Chains A and B, each alone.
Chain A
Amino acid sequence: MVHYMMQTEVRIYLEEVRSHLYLKTDLEKQLINELNSHLQQKIDDLTSQGLSEEDAIHQAILSFGRAENVARLLYEACCKGSWADALKLSFPHFLAAVLFVSSPLHKTEVLLPLFGIFISVSLFAWARGKPDWLYSWVGYTLLPLFAGGFLLAPAITQSFEAIFGEGAWPSTGLLIEVALYYLLTIWVVLRISLQVIKRDWLLASLMLAPVPIIGCWLFYTQQAGGFYAGMEFDYLNQPVAQALMVLGFTSVLFIRMRRRVLKAGVAITVSAISMMVVGQALWGDIGFFGLLGLSLFSLLVFIIPAITNAAIGHGDPLPDRP
């Protein structure tokens, strides 16, 4: 096969197309190669008709249309997943909802195999081309790390109290363990999240969507001393389960819809409403500003990936020879 060097203007144009694609890396490469092949043929035709190479490149790009529009149409043509993919994406949410409803949350004999399944499926799908449905599984794989962070928080609180002379320092061993745990958690979460954000920040948001909901639940149970005292909070598990069920149905919509703006709109709205419902169930009537605060908190899982994506870009740079 003879390789073609990609002209600078063509490369800039194709980079622009790809920056708005948000599809699987392999598929993006294929699409960009196909567009490049078209542009090269058009440039060849135009130069053989007497145009200078510079004019031919300019005209070829112009006749293709705005890069953002081309990318949007390609995304809409290729992004829709099958019903099987929708089920695979939503399944972890439904599983977690069942877990909350049936309340075996303190039973390690249930939790450990379950997280084993989450980790195994995540690793399996990650190694096999990272399909779109993988990311909700990854989200639940990361949850125990967040939960561990919550459970270790008293050691941090104790340290702060010691700094202000209001109590004894925790043991050095415990402090080192806690510090290592937090560093490792931050490293793992950042590393995975950055990779997912580079692929599609909206998928990263969907991956992290259960974190604020379950985070609030953990925070509340911990504040109430329940997690340590072994108290059951059945009356609180119900709204959390409902919120996770709604996230599951949102995932189905997400994978079946073609328009990206609708996907983002549905995911953001559902996350904010779920958060408000859970917040109200946990803390009772928290007023307008309380609800606003909770919905803004849930929006962080959308805002942070979007900003990060704008900063780090999408995918790797195109090679000279596609």
Chain B
Amino acid sequence: MNDYSSNLLHGNTDMLILGLIDELKSAHGYQLIKEMERRSHGFFQLKEGTMYPLLRKLENEGLLEGRWEATSNGPERRCYLITPRGKEFLNYRKASWRDFAKAIDLVFRTETA
């Protein structure tokens, strides 16, 4: 991933995380990193140490809710669920992103036409 893509990802990580959690209903940090990498065919490779500050930030802003869950063969995991406020924020961000992407498409289409 080049610097430009890295900056784009940096500005949209919160939307991607909220979107994934919304879809998975409940997810923990490691699962989110793997899922993002799998779905983007390895394009989005988040630095693992940055995931937890981001999750905590979203939780403190009331967009996520964290819960500890016991596992059968390891230490407890903290799973995150999206809150109604988080869903609202996600919808707003998704709509903004679609409008932005559409506008860029329109500019390029006009150029090539």
Contact = CB atoms under 8 A, between A and B. Distances in A.
A77 B75 contact: no
A171 interface: no
A133 B26 CA distance: 33
Interface residues of B, number: 23
Interface stretch (B16-24, B53-61, B82-90, B98-106): B53-61
Contacts of A33: 75-76, 78
A4 interface: yes
Contact of A77 (B60, B70, B76): B60
A80 B60 contact: yes
Nearest to A31: B52
Contacts of B78: 30, 33-34, 37
Contact of B74 (A35, A37, A69, A80): A37
Contacts of A36: 75
25 contacts: A1-B70, A3-B75, A31-B52, A33-B76, A34-B29, A34-B52, A34-B77, A37-B75, A37-B78, A38-B29, A38-B30, A38-B52, A41-B30, A41-B74, A64-B49, A65-B48, A65-B49, A69-B49, A70-B50, A70-B52, A74-B52, A74-B53, A77-B52, A77-B53, A80-B60
Nearest to B33: A38
A74 B74 contact: no
Most buried by A among B49, B56, B70, B76: B49
A30 B72 CA distance: 19
Given A37-B75, A63-B47, A65-B50, 20 more contacts: A1-B70, A1-B71, A1-B76, A2-B71, A4-B74, A4-B75, A31-B52, A37-B28, A37-B30, A37-B77, A37-B78, A38-B30, A38-B48, A38-B51, A40-B74, A42-B30, A44-B74, A63-B48, A77-B52, A77-B53
Most buried by A among B30, B70, B71, B75: B75
B40 interface: no
A34 to B, nearest CB: 5
Interface of B: 28-30, 47-54, 56-57, 60, 70-78
B73 to A, nearest CB: 6
Contacts of B77: 34, 37, 41
Contacts of B30: 37-38, 41-42
A174 interface: no
A76 interface: yes
A64 B48 contact: yes
B66 to A, nearest CB: 9
Interface string A38-70: 101110100000000000000000011110011
